[in-house]
Amino acid sequence: MRQNYLFTSESVSEGHPDKVADQISDAIVDLFLSKDPEARIACETLTTTQLVVLAGEIRCKGVYENGAWAPGALEEIESTVRQTVRAIGYEQDGFHWQNFTFYNHLHGQSAHIAQGVDASGNKDEGAGDQGIMFGYACDETPDLMPATLYYSHKILEQMAADRHSGAAPFLEPDAKSQVTLRFENGKPVAATAIVVSTQHAPGYDEGAEEAELHAYVKKVVADVIPAALISDETVYHINPTGSFEIGGPDGDAGLTGRKIIVDTYGGASPHGGGAFSGKDPTKVDRSAAYITRYLAKNIVAAGLATHCTIQLAYAIGVSKPLSLYVNTHGTGTVPDSKLEEAIGKIEALGNLTPRGIRTHLGLNKPIYRPTAAYGHFGRKADGDFFPWERTDLVDALKAAV
């Protein structure tokens, strides 16, 4: 591993058009799972000026069966979409939760996909698609996440909280952040550049109002990033293009699944390519990415490594993974092959089959909308939410090693 370098990660707010799409898609996942824990959902969302479009494939008892919608289902879907946008805070001329045009093009799941995925006879439930998934953890932050992404998320989370509470009434929902840190001997030692672009109320692009916005952003950064990393040499770029009044889906179209690096590790780890939002947990794009994070985090939490990358691979309709790969980047206290063997010994993981993953982490629940902004990883495990962030596998890993 390199020891001395600059590294950068970015985040986007809940009001970014792609994140609006992700949150709508995951709100639909939650709606269907609340009706049927075994529902199958693949929901894509398009957002643009005063328009939201849903498309994808579903199967859900009590909502969509035998090619027909249940009474009231279409109205409940539209209400869910509008309330999601309302909660984000969009009440603008170009995008308003009450006024946008809505189209629902969800339809039934392919029977050919269903026959490969569903359990039947002696066949266990298969993976919902082929693919490769990566999980990662490191000791740069208390939540065992890359520091550049961790701070990028936290800046926007604080700004959103202040917007919702009224503490920063000049903020609008759309925003982006970017943090560059200098690493020495593998540890972050200085923030060299901070970029924050935030949608704002009219008039906050000049004069005293602009100065107020800039001072506010710098205060948020100071509250989030440790003081030891900030100095007079830290360069700030706050709304570097000037005005940012037109934002969200009115300023740029949004699509589900376009912020996969923001969703995962900010570029510090490989990504298998598949997005998470809009997919039920039989899709290993989602569930296997969660279990690999869970495994990597527990390995680091157990003191078996300071950096850990894990890969799983699946074939559609096949239950057991094709491969398991562990790489501790030279930081492991035992050989990586021993960690692979140890993971295979832990019966609670259910051989890392889709059913085993869903059972161990409790994924067949409406827990996904909160994942769709500010990252799927590095969050606080809270009851049913973010179970892949628990470190309850530490003792089992140590025993297996």
Which amino acid appears at position 10 of this protein? E
pLDDT digits (tens, 9 = 90+) for 146-162: 999 999 999 999 999 99
If one counts every other C-beta atom within 10 angstroms of the C-beta of residue 21, the result is: 30
Q: Residue 320 annotated as binding?
A: no
Q: What is the pLDDT of residue 129?
A: 79
pLDDT of residue 110: 72
Task: Determine whether the annotation assigns residue 109 to a binding site.
Answer: yes
Provide the residue type at 53 as one letter: V
- 146-163 burial code (b ≥16 CB/10 A, e <16): bbbbbbbbbbbbbbbebb
Q: Which residues of 328-362 are buried (b: 16+ CB within 10 A; e: fewer)?
A: beebbeeebeebeebbeebeebbebbbbbbbebbe
The domains of the chain are located at: 5-12+147-247, 17-117, 131-139+259-274+281-400
Multiple choice CATH, 131-139+259-274+281-400, 3.30.479.30, 3.30.300.10, 3.40.190.10, 2.60.40.10: 3.30.300.10
Which of the two residues, 173 and 117, has the higher pLDDT score? 173
Does 345 carry a binding-site annotation? no
End-to-end CA distance of the chain: 24
The pTM score is 0.95
The pLDDT score that the predictor gives to residue 273 is 81
Q: How far apart (Å, rounded) are the C-alpha atoms in residues 58 and 279? A: 10
pLDDT at 117 over 70: no
Confidence of residue 109 (pLDDT cuts 50, 70, 90): confident
Overall fold of domain 5-12+147-247? GMP Synthetase; Chain A, domain 3 (3.30.300)
Whole-number average pLDDT of the chain: 95
Q: Which of 370, 363, 367, 372 is nearest to 31 (CA)?
A: 367
Percent of the chain with pLDDT over 70: 97
Evaluated on CA atoms 168, 169, 171, 173, the torsion sign reads positive
- Determine the average pLDDT of the residues in 82-105: 98
Q: What is the pLDDT of residues 279-316, one digit of tens each?
A: 999 999 999 999 999 999 999 999 999 999 999 999 98
Residue 118, pLDDT score: 62
Tell whether 154 is in a known binding site. Answer: no
Q: Over range 214-242, report the average pLDDT.
A: 97
Judge whether 107 is annotated as a binding position.
no
Task: Determine if residue 283 is labeled as part of a ligand binding site.
Answer: yes
Q: Which residues are catalytic?
A: 16, 18-19, 44, 57, 176, 244, 252-253, 258-259, 279, 283, 285
Q: What's the whole-number mean pLDDT along residues 68-85?
A: 97
pLDDT at 93: 95
What value does the mean pLDDT take over residues 352-362?
95
- The average pLDDT across 37-58 equals 97
Range with lowest mean pLDDT among 103-112, 268-277, 357-366: 103-112
pLDDT of 23: 98
The response to whether 44 counts as a known ligand-binding position is yes
Angstrom CA distances, 128 to 40, 199, 310, stand at 9, 38, 20
Fold annotation for 17-117: GMP Synthetase; Chain A, domain 3 (3.30.300)
384 belongs to an annotated ligand binding site:
no
* Whether the predicted pLDDT of 393 surpasses 70: yes
Binned at pLDDT 50, 70 and 90, residue 317 comes out as: confident
